[in-house]
Structure 1
Amino acid sequence: MAETTAFRVMLRMQIFPGMEQEFEKVWYAGSDVIGRQAGNLGQWLMRGEDEEEGVYYIMSDWVDERAFRAFEGTDEHIEHRTQLHPYRSKGSMATMNIVYALNSPAVTS
């Protein structure tokens, strides 16, 4: 069991019907904006399967909250968010600190 202090951000977005594939393309095309940030540890785009159609989750991990908040106010972030906005009907954000990270033996490096 490894203790960690990473900061995680999870966005939940409801995408307008029929716009899912275009949303995925636009998200992917702009994903390097986050990946270039020194404090970013990784990011994921996930599609919900057990709820209403068109639900996506965007998760990103950061070295700490300060690094995320610094990125959140940049022109790059605002531009990327603006490009995604036309695809979503609603959204929410949750932030959290990872207390423990437990890796399964099936996970390889």
Structure 2
Amino acid sequence: MQIIIQNPRQNLVNALRQCGYHFERHHIQTSEVSAAKNLGIGGFPRFHCYAKLDDDKNIVINLHLDQKRPSYAGTRTHGGEYDGELVRQEAERIKKLFEI
């Protein structure tokens, strides 16, 4: 699910922290930041997002729910949920934090 935060008052990483997410890494090739918000013990399930600034300096967040850790060694494939009730609720929570 995509969320756009227009005219953010802080930088990308701090905006994600305000939402309760922790920084994971910066993907240099795509200029995206990866961040997660753990919901359970052991890191899963968790909300996971890729976020970046668009050409107008708005924050674009692509959000999904990782239900479990990738199950095959050497792959990044996971059981991600991109549009379910929990994802919609989390997107609404984030929007309210920024009064979108």
State whether TM-score is above 0.5.
no
**Structure having the higher Rg:** 1
Going by fraction, where is helix more abundant, 1 or 2?
1
TM bucket normalised to smaller: 0.3 to 0.5
Tell me which of the two structures has the higher relative contact order, counting C-alpha pairs closer than 8 angstroms and 6 or more residues apart. 1
